[in-house]
A = this chain, B = another copy of it.
Amino acid sequence: MKAEIISIGTELLLGHIINTNAAYLSGKFAALGIDLYYQTTVGDNPERLTQAIKRALIRSDIVILTGGLGPTIDDITMESISLLTGKPLIPNRAVAKDIARYFKSRGLRPSRGNEKQSRVPEGARCLRNKFGTAPALIIEYLGKVVICLPGPPREMEPLFEDEVARYLNEKFRSESVIVTRTIKTVGLAESQVNAIVKDLLKLPPPTTVGIYAKLREVHLVIMAKAKSPRRARLAIAIIEKKILTRLKSHVFGYDDDTLESAVGEILKAKRLTLSVAESCTGGLITKRLTDISGSSKFFMTGIVTYSDESKENFLGVPDALIKKHGVVSRQVCKEMALGIKHFACTDIGIGITGIAGPAGGSARKPVGLVYIALATDRKRIVREFRFKGSRQDIRWQASQAALDMIRLNA
């Protein structure tokens, strides 16, 4: 069973919006065990759209289209499908009713274009769009399936969840499923992870391993195709064990885990509290940790001290120390960690100071120089890092390194 996605919209080709629908739908198809080999984006041009649908119908069994279903004359998806399948557009009473209800509930009146939206190819199965006026439908044609969904994610996603997923599941109950398992590591470069698991990356289907590098994070994705989810998971477990044995404590989590959620789990399990004093990372670590719902269980205080006075007022870092060693120094960093730990009354205190750039660097203290300190009742650790990249990159890498220090020392 093969599927492909066609995203329709000139705004995509002009770069005005990012195509999140393709990633969303691709993830869904992978979970359904349906192979997806192509994503195509075309504009609101009848000829090119018709060509794209035709090509997709030749090489795939399921073609899912998003966008081009709006009320304006630009929106030509229905016309193209009607042309291609030879099924005339006819008014659909249920769709028309839904549109009328949609406008009534908002105290608005439908426009002429909305009448156009209620005309769908003959024989199409219409889906109920609760969040907009664009029609959504499934057309079966010569053993293939064409699915049209609206472009806005807030309309498209519920339609897929509520109706399309069930339809696909029933219609194409596949003899095989695809299960993926992502193993996430930190502290090693892609080339280092690559060298450690090289043999596994060459495994032939049905169980394969892929490697994906992020900033200061490397992911290994095990993908297994099997007759049942249980068998796929068994095949994955064997490879997973090998990877864990080799990468040991560099593995911080799986699948939807993030470095911050992994840190949060550890702190919650050990009933430890944390506070963070940041300078160059500007609240990034605090933001990442508090992105987690329930973070108030372990996260107490985060402070971003940009000015020297605030380092003294809020953290008790002596002005003399700053004058002697500079704000970006091992000594000040350590005092920041001790200060926040003390004033916030937490088990762990983290201090970070550095130069995120692009300005502010010098020969002795270049852009990318970052100190990270961790203080607990028993430990006092200060580490020096030299990160490369843009301001954003440096800040991100510093937050990764700090979270990893907490993970390994909590």
A189-B108, A295-B306 known; A13-B39 Cβ under 8 A: yes
Cβ of A244 < 8 Å from any Cβ of B? no
Known: A15-B22, A18-B18. 19 other contacts (CB 8 A): A11-B210, A14-B30, A15-B26, A16-B182, A17-B23, A17-B212, A37-B43, A38-B40, A39-B40, A40-B41, A73-B201, A111-B191, A283-B284, A283-B287, A283-B290, A286-B286, A291-B391, A293-B358, A302-B306
**Measured between alpha carbons, how far is A212 from B114 in the docked complex, in Å?**
16
Contact mask A314-352 → B, CB, 8 Å, 1/0? 100000000000000000000000000001110000000
Cβ of A106 < 8 Å from any Cβ of B? yes
* Chain A to chain B: the 7 pairs with minimum beta-carbon distance, closest first: A282-B290, A15-B27, A15-B26, A283-B286, A283-B283, A302-B304, A39-B41
Cβ of A389 < 8 Å from any Cβ of B? yes
Out of B14, B211, B282, B284, which one reaches A72, CB within 8 Å?
Answer: B211
- Interface hub of A111, A275, A284, A302 (most chain B Cβ within 10 A): A302
Contacts of A307 in B (CB 8 A): 296, 300-301, 344
Q: Smallest distance from the beta carbon of A281 to chain B beta carbons, Å?
A: 8
Contacts of A154 in B (CB 8 A): 215, 389-390, 393
Contact, CB under 8 Å: A221 / B16: yes
Contact, CB under 8 Å: B11 / A16: no
A210-B74, A283-B283 known; A306-B314 Cβ under 8 A: no
Contact, CB under 8 Å: B391 / A293: yes
Cβ of A105 < 8 Å from any Cβ of B? yes
Q: Smallest distance from the beta carbon of A374 to chain B beta carbons, Å?
A: 18
23 A-B residue contacts at CB 8 Å?
A13-B39, A14-B26, A14-B36, A16-B182, A16-B221, A19-B19, A37-B43, A37-B45, A38-B52, A71-B190, A106-B189, A106-B388, A113-B191, A284-B287, A286-B286, A287-B287, A299-B306, A300-B306, A301-B304, A301-B305, A302-B304, A303-B314, A313-B345
Residues facing B in A5-54 (CB within 8 A) are 7, 10-20, 22-30, 36-43, 45, 48, 52
Cβ of A93 < 8 Å from any Cβ of B? no
Cβ of A185 < 8 Å from any Cβ of B? no
Cβ of A180 < 8 Å from any Cβ of B? yes
Interface of A is mostly: mixed
A210-B11, A306-B290 known; A113-B194 Cβ under 8 A: yes
Cβ of A131 < 8 Å from any Cβ of B? yes
**Measured between alpha carbons, how far is A37 from B42 in the docked complex, in Å?**
6
**Measured between alpha carbons, how far is A191 from B133 in the docked complex, in Å?**
11
**Measured between alpha carbons, how far is A165 from B282 in the docked complex, in Å?**
33
Contacts of A169 in B (CB 8 A): none
Contacts of A391 in B (CB 8 A): 291, 293
Q: Smallest distance from the beta carbon of A13 to chain B beta carbons, Å?
A: 5
Q: Smallest distance from the beta carbon of A232 to chain B beta carbons, Å?
A: 15
A284-B287, A304-B290, A314-B301 known; A71-B14 Cβ under 8 A: no
Cβ of A269 < 8 Å from any Cβ of B? no
Q: Smallest distance from the beta carbon of A378 to chain B beta carbons, Å?
A: 23
Cβ of A228 < 8 Å from any Cβ of B? no
Q: Smallest distance from the beta carbon of A47 to chain B beta carbons, Å?
A: 10
The chain B residue sitting closest to A111, CB to CB, is B191
**Measured between alpha carbons, how far is A141 from B371 in the docked complex, in Å?**
50
**Measured between alpha carbons, how far is A110 from B217 in the docked complex, in Å?**
18
**Measured between alpha carbons, how far is A20 from B67 in the docked complex, in Å?**
18
The chain B residue sitting closest to A182, CB to CB, is B16
Contact, CB under 8 Å: B42 / A10: no
Contact, CB under 8 Å: A191 / B114: yes
